[in-house]
Structure 1
Amino acid sequence: MRAGIAALLGAVMALTVTPLSAVAQDEEPEQEIIVKFREGASRGDALEKSRTRAVADSSDGAEVLASRDAAESIRVLLARGDVEYAEPNIVLQATAVPNDPLWPQQWHYWEAVGGIGLSPAWDQGPSGLGQRVAVIDTGRTAHPDMNANYVGGYDFISNAATARDGNGRDANPMDQGDWTTGTCGPARPSSWHGLHVAGTVAALRNNATGGTGVAPSAKVVPVRVLGMCGGTIADIAAAIVWAAGGAVPGVPANAFPARTLNLSLGGPSASCPVTLQNAINTARNVHGATVVVAAGNDAVNASGATPANCAGVITTGATDRQANRASYSNFGASVEICAPGGETSPVVANGVLSTMNAGATVPAGSIYKHYQGTSMATPHVAGVVALMQHARVQHAKPLLTPAQVLLHLKAKALPPAAQCGKGLLDARASVAAAIAAP
C-alpha cells in the first residue's frame, strides 16, 4: 500500500507545476492532501504558504487539506522543517470486484455467511495464472466464459455407446451429452456437468459476461470420463494418471499436465478400489498433483462412497447459503473440508451459479444455471488450490506439495455436528497461509 502511495506521489510531483498565483482559483477543482505537522509547527504560516485550507482531521494527528494544486502544495510543505509528511489523499475503490454481471448472484463467492471470501483472496495477488486444473468429468462444452481457458484434454471413455462418439478413447474431449431415456435409471436430459464444474474453477473474470470462476486466469484441462450412465473405475483411474502427467498405454503423453485434479464424481463402495487408489497414489506421490474429490450427495457417511473414501484426496462436503451442511451432503471423518454446494429447493437462486448449456441432448446455446451438490462444492476448493499455487509462484516460493496444500487450506469453523472437517473453505485465509509458508 505504502509503495502504491509513493508511486502516486511520484506521479503527482512529476506534473508540470504552474505558480499558484498564476492560476485562477475557480479553474481547477480542489484536491485533497494529508499532512502531519511536527509539534510546535507554525501551522498558519504553512497553510498560507502552501495555499491550502483545512477540511478534516485524519488519523494519528494528521489532517486533510484542500488545494487547487496538490503537487505544488505538497512540494512547499515537504520543504518545511515543521512538516513530518505530506501526501495525496488518494481515492481507493472496492478491490477485486469483477464487472461480470452475474457476480451479484454468485453469493457462494462473497456473502459473509455462506461465501468463501474470494475477493480478499484475489486482493493478495493471485488469479491462478500459470496453473492448470484437470476437470475429470463429462468433458468440454463450448461457452464464451470458458473457451479461452480450456487447454488440451482427452476422452478416456472406452465404451463407444457410453461415449456417444462412435469410438473408444480418443483425443476429442468434447461432451457429447449424457442424456438417458431410461437406460440406466430415470430418463433425464444432458447435465453438461463438466461445463458447470469448469466454470466454477476458471470462468473468465472482468469480461463483462456472465459470472466468474474462483481462479479466473487458470487453465482447465477437460478430461472426459463420464458419458451416458456414468463412467468406469478403469477409465477414471487412467484419466487421473494421465491428467497429472503420467503415462497411460495407448494414449499420447499429456502436453498440459495439471497440478490440481478435480473429481466431482462418485459412487457407493465400501472401500476405495485398488485400481483407483493406485492411480491417486501415482498422481499425488509421483507427479505432485493435489486430488480434490466430492464427498457425495446421499446424506450418508462418506466412508461408503468412492473416491471420497480414498487415501490422499481432499474430500469435499457441501454447505448451503446459511453455512449449514447441505441436507444432501455426505459427511463423516473422510470429509476434510466443506465448500458452498448450495440448495436449489425451494429457492433456485440458493444454488451455485455457473456456466451451462441449454441443450436437452446435444449442445445448444450457452447459458448460466444454478446447480446444487458436492460436485459444485469441489471446484471451489480446486480453484482455491490454484490460487494458492499461483501465490507461491508470485512470491518466488516452490509449489506446495499435496500434503502442504491440505495443511494450508483454511476454513471458517462450523459446528462439529456439521462433520465438515476443517469447516467452510476460506479463500482469503488459504491464500494468506500459502504465502506465509516457507
Structure 2
Amino acid sequence: MNSLRRVGIATLAATALAASGLALAGGAEAAPTAGEHQRLIVGYKQAPSDSSTVDTATRLGANLGLKPSLTRRLATGGALLDLGARTSAATTARMIAELKADPNVAYVDVDQRMYATSVAADPNDPEYAKQWDLFEDKAGMNLPGAWPQSTGSGVTVAVIDTGYVKHSDVDSHIVAGYDFISDSTNANDGSGRDADPSDPGDYTTRDNECGQNETKHNSSWHGTHVAGTIAASTNNGKGVAGIAYDAKIQPVRVLGKCGGTLADIADAIVWASGGSVSGVPANKTPAKVINMSLGGSGSCSSTYQNAINTAVRNGTTVVVAAGNNNADAANYQPSSCANVISVAASNRVGDKAFYSNFGKVVDLAAPGGETRRSTDTPGTVTTPENGILSTLNDGATTPGSETYKPYMGTSMAAPHIAGLAALMLGKKSELTPAQVEQVMKDNVRALPGTCSGGCGTGLADATKTLKALDGSIPSTVTVTNPGDQWGFKGWAISGLQISATASDGGALTFSATGLPAGLTISTSGKITGTPTAGGTSTVTVTAKEASGTSGSTTFKWQIYGF
C-alpha cells in the first residue's frame, strides 16, 4: 500500500517527517505504489450481492492474472477487495480501469495508508507555565477567559489515532473506544480489530519494515499526546492543563507501526460518530467531536468523504490536521475533504510554523509549535520551550513510565481546535457542525505574524469564540459533498441529487459552476444531462437561502471521451 506520512512532527529523530505520497489518477483515485500489496475500495450506485461482487472481480482479475477476494463491506457501503497478490502499479491501475468501466460502479479508491500527523484563575498544574499555546498574549489561544464559560463537560471527543497508553493525567477522562486496525501485524499487538484501543507502541525493529525506505523508529505515543492537549486533567496540582478539561476522550485506534489504511479509518469515523459498522459493537458514547491528526497525499477520496459526510449527518464536528509538508493542503487528505475543519499550525511568535501546510482549504490556524528551527537538523530538538507540551510515555518500544514532552506539528494544532469545539458544545450543545465551524472562524484574531499561502481566517481565539455564543447564532447552510464523479461522453447522467440543509430549516435554491458540458442543475439540486466532451471538471455547487445565506461544496467530475 502507498506510504502516507505523519502530520505531526515528534521531538525524536525517529518520528521526523518527510514528504511522500501518491499521484492522483482522474482526480479521485491515487496511483498505487509499485511492488506493494494492494486493496481497492469499490463503491456502487446500487449495491450488488457479495457473490455478484466476487464473481465480477474474479472475472476482471483473471484477465490480469489476479485472484481478487471480498474482504468486507465498509460502513460507507463500499466493497473492500483484496487483489490477492503484490501487484505492479500498472496492473493495479488496469484493474481500477476495468472496475470503473462498469456503469454501476460509482468510485474506486486505493486502500491507502495514513500516518499520524506528528503530534479563571490560572490552573495550578505545575507545567502550565510552559504551555504558552494556551495563554500567551502574542500567539496563544486565549484559553483563560474561556474556561469560566465552559470546560467541555458533557462532550466526548474521539481521538482517531495510535490509541492510548495509560497516563494518570488523562485516565479519568477516558471512555470506551475501539481498535479498528484489521491487520494484526501492523497492529503490533498480535490481534486485529477488538475492543481494546490501548497503544502497544508503533515502533519498528528494522529498517524498511514498512516498505517505505525508512529507518527503524521508536514508539511515538502520538494519540496520548493529542489526548492530553484536548482533555488533560486540570487544577489537579499535576502535570499539564487540558483545553476542554472536563470533556471525555474516546480513543479510536487506526494507526499501527506502519500507519493505517483508508478502509480502517473510514470505518472508525463512522463508528466514532455513532454510525453502524459491520462486526463491531455499537458505540455507546458517540463523539460530538472527532480529531484526526493524521493524513496522506492526494485530494479527498470518495471513501474519506462518504465517511465524513456520515459523521457530520450524525451531528459530529470533524477536525483534521492540514499536514506538515509546507505545501498546499489541497493536495493532502483528509485536509482537502469537505465538511471538515482543516487546521494549520502557528509558532510561538504567530507565524505559520515552518512545516505547516497552507492554502484555500485551510479554515484557521492554531498553535502547533516548533521544537527546532527550520534550519536545524531534522529530528533534533533545539527549542523545546517553543513546542506543545503534553502527556506522553517514555517507552522506546513498549509502554514505560508516563511523562510529559513537547512535540510540534499540525497534529498538535488540530487538538487545540477539537478542544475548542468541545468547549463550544459544552456551552451550547445544540450547535451543528457547520455552526461550530462558522462561529469559530468568525471569531479568530489576526495571525500576529505571516502566513504565505493562506492560513484560513486567522488564529483561533477561545475567549472571543465562547463569548460569541451568548448572542444569536447565524444560520448556516451545509452542502453534502457527493464525492468525485465520472462518466462517459454521450452517456446520459440519470440524475445526481445534491443534498443540503439550512440550520434554521429555510428553503434552498441550488446553482453550480464548472459542470461538464451538457450537464445542468435544477434549482432543487438535481444534476442531469448527457456529457458532450471528455475531460475533468472542477464543479462547485451552491445552495442559498432567500436571506442570502449560502453554502457550497466542490468536487471533480471526470468524463471519459472514448
Quickly name the TM-score band, shorter chain normalised. Answer: 0.7 to 0.9
Letter in 1 for 2:331: G
Q: Distance in 2 between matches of 1:374 and 1:407?
A: 20
Q: Distance in 1 between matches of 2:121 and 2:425?
A: 19
Q: Is the 8 A contact 2:351 2:451 kept in 1?
A: no
Q: Is the 8 A contact 2:352 2:451 kept in 1?
A: no
TM-score scaled by length of structure 1: 0.76
Does residue 404 of the first structure (1) align with residue 435 of the second (2)?
yes
Does residue 413 of the first structure (1) align with residue 446 of the second (2)?
yes
Does residue 431 of the first structure (1) align with residue 458 of the second (2)?
no
Structure-2 residue corresponding to 1:327: 354
Pick aligned residue for 2:188 from 164, 180, 191: 164
- The equivalences for 1:83-102 within 5 A come to 95-102=120-127
Structure-1 residue corresponding to 2:165: 141
Shift of the alpha carbon at 1:436?
Answer: 2.1
Shift of the alpha carbon at 1:364?
Answer: 0.6
Q: Distance in 1 between matches of 2:132 and 2:359?
A: 26
Tell me the alpha carbon deviations over residues 377-409 of structure 1, each in whole angstroms, 9 at most, x when there is no partner.
Answer: 00000000000011115xxxxx21111011100
Pick aligned residue for 1:276 from 277, 281, 304: 304
Structure-1 residue corresponding to 2:414: 378
Per residue, is there more strand in 1 or in 2? 2
Letter in 1 for 2:327: V
- The 3-state SS of whatever aligns with 2:318 is strand
Structure-1 residue corresponding to 2:268: 239
- The 3-state SS of whatever aligns with 1:122 is coil
- The 3-state SS of whatever aligns with 1:136 is strand
Structure-2 residue corresponding to 1:7: none
Identity of aligned residues (%): 52
Shift of the alpha carbon at 1:342?
Answer: 0.2
Q: Distance in 2 between matches of 1:141 and 1:435?
A: 38
Letter in 2 for 1:256: T
- The 3-state SS of whatever aligns with 2:150 is coil
Does residue 103 of the first structure (1) align with residue 125 of the second (2)?
no
Structure with larger Rg: 1
TM-score scaled by length of structure 2: 0.59
Q: Distance in 2 between matches of 1:407 and 1:114?
A: 21
Structure-2 residue corresponding to 1:215: 244
Shift of the alpha carbon at 1:167?
Answer: 1.6
Q: Distance in 2 between matches of 1:329 and 1:231?
A: 22
Between stretches 192-201 and 413-422, larger displacement belongs to 413-422
Does residue 367 of the first structure (1) align with residue 400 of the second (2)?
no
Tell me the alpha carbon deviations over residues 254-287 of structure 1, each in whole angstroms, 9 at most, x when there is no partner.
Answer: 0110010000000111x211111100000002x0
Letter in 2 for 1:373: G
Letter in 2 for 1:312: N
| Long gaps (5+) in structure 1 | 1-94, 394-398
Pick aligned residue for 1:116 from 114, 130, 141: 141
Letter in 1 for 2:141: I
Structure-2 residue corresponding to 1:195: 224
Letter in 2 for 1:103: Y
Q: Distance in 1 between matches of 2:304 and 2:281?
A: 21
Shift of the alpha carbon at 1:419?
Answer: 1.0
Tell me the alpha carbon deviations over residues 266-312 of structure 1, each in whole angstroms, 9 at most, x when there is no partner.
Answer: 0111x211111100000002x01000000000100001110000011
Q: Distance in 1 between matches of 2:160 and 2:359?
A: 24
Per residue, is there more helix in 1 or in 2? 1
Shift of the alpha carbon at 1:418?
Answer: 5.7
Shift of the alpha carbon at 1:437?
Answer: 3.1
Structure-1 residue corresponding to 2:426: 390
